[in-house]
Structures are given as C-alpha cells and as structure tokens.
Structure 1
Amino acid sequence: MREEEKKPTSKIRRILKQRWALSAIYIASAAIILAAAFLLQNSFDDSANDGKKDSAETGKNYDQPSVEVNSNLETIKMPVADADKTVIKKQFYDVNADEKAQEEALVFYNNRYEQNKGVDIAMEDGKSFDVKASLSGNVAKVQDDALLGNLIEVEHEDGVVTRYQSVKDIKVAVGDKVKQGQAIATAGKSQINEEAGVHVHFEIRKDNIALNPTDFVDKQASAIQSATETEGSTLDDSTEKEETPAVDESEKGTDLESGTDKEGSTPGEDSTEESDSLKDSLNQSN
C-alpha cells in the first residue's frame, strides 16, 4: 500500500528532474498571468467606454447652449490683426454727438449725405490687410456690391450681427461657422466712400439697430444686450431701415452745378449758416 502511494510522487519527481520541466512551468505560469491581465484590461476598457457613452448621451442635448454661452462671453475685437496699426477714416454717426462730430461722420455720395452706421478702418500705411471676425458666429449673408464694396454679415446670439463692408477676396460662404479672429476677407475699396481708400467698414447691430462699434471694443458681447436695455430710446431708431435717411444736397442750399450755394458762398466753407442748415435737414430726415 505504501509503495502505491509513493508512485505518483515518484513520477512527479522524475518529471521535475527533466531539463525542460522548469522551463515549461515558467512558460505556463507566464501564459496564465498574461491571460488574466488581458481579461482585466478588457473589463476596464468596457467600463470606460460605457461611461463615455453615458456621458455623451446625457450631454448631447446641451451642445448648442454651451456654444452660445461661450460665444456670448467673448471679448469684442476690432476686425484686424493689430488694432494699434490702424486709423479710423470715418467715425460712427452718433445722434448724441456734437455738431462737428456729426458732420464728420456723414458720407457724401451721389449728391446726398448718408449717416455712417459703422466705422471705416484702414491701416496707417494705407496697405491692404486681412479682415478678421470680431466675434464667433454664423455667416448669414455674403453679397457682391460694387457700391458698398461687397458685404459679409455674421450672426451672433441675442439678435447681434456684425457687418463687414468694402471687402474683397471673401473666404467664407453663407452657413459657415467662423471663429473670432478668423480671416474672412481682405480689405478693399467702395464707391460710397472712396476717400477712405483701402479700408473695411465695420458695423455692430442689435435687432437691426446700428451701434457705435468703438463703444463695445474690448468688452464682452453680453455688454451689447445690457447697453441696449439701459439706453433704450437713446438709440438711433432711424437705422432700423436698411436704407439710411439721407439729406439731398439741394436741401442744404447748394447749387452743385455752379459750385456755389444760394447764399453766395462756396461749398466747403465752415460757416454757421451752413452748419445750421445741415443740422435742420438731418433733423427733418430723422
């Protein structure tokens, strides 16, 4: 009986004495360890993927609001790469500005004076430059227009629109999403303001009411909403129309063909009567 009990043990000992025995044991052990590690890794990966899937499903309905909030918190920038190297050729027409500032903000074209609804920006050296998106948004309009020098409109949240005129080499199309600082065109020229040379006409509008862009540069886009709610009736309601009320040169009392006005003075003289007449005409048009 004892000899039979010793037989299995003897066989194991004989096997272990073989040269290949230990190597086989090591290989088998390593295989078992690797298989266990592989199974554990797959288990962790499946858990992580399930977590990501659940997270995506939970947050998928909130993608759009997230974009809106981030965009609304952007700081409004001038539509150029380096604002320090620019000059403003013509300022925004402000109904609350003094008489001289208002006259300087009038655009004269085709014997008519138009109120400037934005700012005309050019480089100090007069050279062309890339026009950048002032805010992130969606391109709503791209229009070829020789008079305005072509036009791009970008829509933002809360009824805010930025407009870029007098541009060429347009790089965007309707429906494109643009990021702040993205080049959307190149500065060009326009017939309506030839004296500005190579420039971009930049506007900010809230519910189709033109606002002074310089009032909001380096401020968050949400400041536009706050300003319009606070100021309310002080905004220039006449800008709600696409066609700006204009003053005919004949109403100002100037005979363009003869080169002299009806009072006998030459156009361009800085006289009190001429300023008063221009102011009265503007009030009538508003």
Structure 2
Amino acid sequence: MMAEVMKMREEEKKRSSLNKFFKKRWVFPAIYLASAALLISMIFWYQTAGNNTADKAKLTEEGKELTGMHDNDTVIEVNQSFENVSVPVKNQDEVDYVTQFYDSNASMDEQEAALIVDGNKYRPNMGIDIAMKDGSEFEVLASLSGKVTAVRNDSLLGNVIEVEHDNGVKTIYQSVKDMQVKSGDAVKQGQVLAKSGTSQLNKEAKNHVHFEIRKDNTALNPLDFFGQPFTAFENVDKEAADTEKQEDASGETEQDPAAGDSEQQETDADNDGQSQETDSHEEDQSNQMINE
C-alpha cells in the first residue's frame, strides 16, 4: 500500500514539474522556432536535390547531342590508330602466300606469277592468296578493327566480306565460308570473321583466303603493311603526292628534240624555197634584156 502511495506522489511531482515547464514564457516560442527551422531545412534539402537531378539530366542530354549518341546506341572501344596491321590468320608461321600481289614495278617473272588464269583471260591479282602449308581449313580473322560494310555470297569469288576503316582504308576477304558477321557490325582486330574456302576464280589456290587492302579504292600490297602501324597508310598519300609533283616538274622542263628539229627543217625549207624563187626571177629578167 505504501509503495502505491509513493508511486502516485512521484507521478504528481512529474506532472507538476511539466506544467511548470510549459508555463514558462520562452517554451512555446522556442518550440515554434525549432519546428520552423526544421521545416525550412527540409524544404531547402528537397529543392537542392531536385536541382541536382535536373542538372544531371540536362548534362546527359547535352552530352548525347554533342557526341551524337543515344540510349540505344552501342559504344565500342576501338584503338584502330594504335593497331599494327596483322595477317588475317591465327598462326601466320604456318601459312604460304600461294599467289602474290601483282606489282606493276616487279620483274616479268614476278608479274607472271601474280596473274590468275580465268578461262582464256589473265587477271592481275589485286591482293594475296593465303593458305595453310598442309592445305587445311583455318579461321579468317579481322586484320584491323573496323565496321563491316558488305557481306555477300559470290560463287565466282567464293563469298566476300568488306570491312571499312579510317582514312579511306578498306580490307577485303574473299573465298570464305561460314561467315560470322553481317553488314553494319563493328569488329575488333583478331575477331573471327569466317573460315577459309575455295573459289571458282582461283581454283589452283585450293582452300585459301584472298585478302586485299585498298586505300581510296587503290589496291595495295598487303605484304608491305603487315606489322606496320595504321599510320603507315598516311605515307601512301604523301608518296603519291610527291610522285605527282615530280611528274609535273619533269613535264614542264622536258622538251621534244624531234619537234625542235622538225621546226628547224620547216624553216630551212621555207628559206630554200624563197631563195629558189629569187634566183628564177632574176634569170627571167636577164633573158628579157638579152632578147631586147
């Protein structure tokens, strides 16, 4: 009983002290100010968070406009400028180059070896034909990173894959089968494109891949570029420009000696004709005087 009485007295003391606390003048203003400060802080935090989200979205959209990329675009990392041109096979030590590139500056024997017999016609080989030494089938790999621009079936050439690169460079793979890519695909160097096959155009090569490198649609000898950096193709333009300058310079300074002799002969003939006419006229005058 005493314990209950003591407990009731303690509760009355607490209520009394709480009532005294709220009767003080500064309590309610303090509570109001604290509530207002908390409310303002929450509003400020909400506005700041909303602005950050909007800024991020704006930056993202501006970035898409600057780069031309959209949500459904695929980003592919290609370090093509830093790549070395590679042989389009896995084990290059196990291959033979069964037909060489036709070089107009090569010897007659080398040019003859680079001709492909097509019925009763001879075609210059605009690439190289690669085959395994043991004649087995092999995987054809991308020589450089790039974008596939054409994949077509061709009974004469043995199917064709074309891959486009920077600066007007294109690699072409013919006489292939089981093609693993389609037009529009982005491929990386060393990626499997197809398997080697045969073609009606060059039956003597048997199982092989016909590989070409073209710069601005001009065929280049792939053997000159294997192991070279991609920037080596820039020298092709410089060499072509230097050759054109040399040809222009030689054309301006050279003269045709035969033309000069011809002009001199024409001048001499005219002089001889005039001299003969003068002598004949003088002879006529002399005869007339004698007759008189």
Q: Give the aligned partner of residue 137 of structure 2.
A: 128
Kindly indicate whether residue 63 of structure 2 is the aligned counterpart of residue 58 of structure 1. Answer: yes
- Out of 183, 199, 208, which is 1:199 matched to? 208
Alignment partner, residue 216 of structure 1:
225
Cα distance in 1 between the residues matched to 2:140 and 2:54: 43
Secondary structure at the residue paired with 2:237? helix
Q: Does the alignment pair 1:150 with 2:159?
A: yes
Separation in 2 of the partners of 1:63 and 1:75?
29
Indicate how the Cα distance of structure 1 residues 211 and 51 shifts in structure 2: closer, same or farther if over 3 A, else same.
same
- Which has a greater percent of helix? 2
Does the CA-based 8 Å contact 1:149-1:167 persist in structure 2?
Answer: yes
Correspondence for 1:100 among 93, 105, 109: 109
Structure 2: where are the runs of 5+ without partners? 1-12, 21-44, 70-74, 245-292
In 2, the alpha carbon distance for the partners of 1:211 and 1:62 equals 34
Name which one, 1 or 2, has greater alpha-carbon Rg: 2
Q: What is the distance in 1 between the residues matched to 2:173 and 2:54?
A: 45
State the AA in 2 paired with 1:61: L
Alignment of 1:9-20 (within 5 A): none
Task: Give distance in 2, aligned partners of 1:86 and 1:61.
Answer: 46
Rounded to whole Å, the distance in 2 between the matches of 1:126 and 1:202 is: 17
**What does 1:1-286 correspond to in 2, within 5 Å?**
8=17, 54=59, 57-58=62-63, 61-62=66-67, 70-232=79-241
Q: Go from structure 1 to structure 2 and tell me whether the alpha carbon gap of 1:7 and 1:159 turns closer, same or farther (over 3 Å shift).
A: same
**Shift in alpha-carbon separation, 1:225–1:47, aligned structure 2, 3 A:** same
**Which is worse superposed, 194-203 or 81-90?**
81-90
SS at match of 2:232: helix
Offset at residue 136 of structure 1 (A): 1.8
Superposition CA RMSD, Å: 3.8
Quote the sequence identity (%).
46
Deviation of 1:49 (Å) = 9.5
Post-superposition shift, 1:161?
1.1
Name the CA shift for 1:103/1:232 in 2 (closer, same or farther; >3 Å). farther
3-state secondary structure, aligned to 1:149:
coil
CA distance in 1, matches of 2:123, 2:101: 11
Deviation of 1:196 (Å) = 1.2
Determine if contact 2:147/2:164 at 8 Å carries over to the other structure: yes
TM-score if structure 1 supplies the norm length?
0.60
SS of 2:181's equivalent?
Answer: coil
* Structure 2 CA distance for partners of 1:96 and 1:184, relative to 1, 3 Å: same
The answer as to whether partners of 1:68 and 1:157 remain within 8 angstroms in 2 is: no
Find the aligned partners of 2:181 and 2:205 in 1 and give their Cα distance: 24
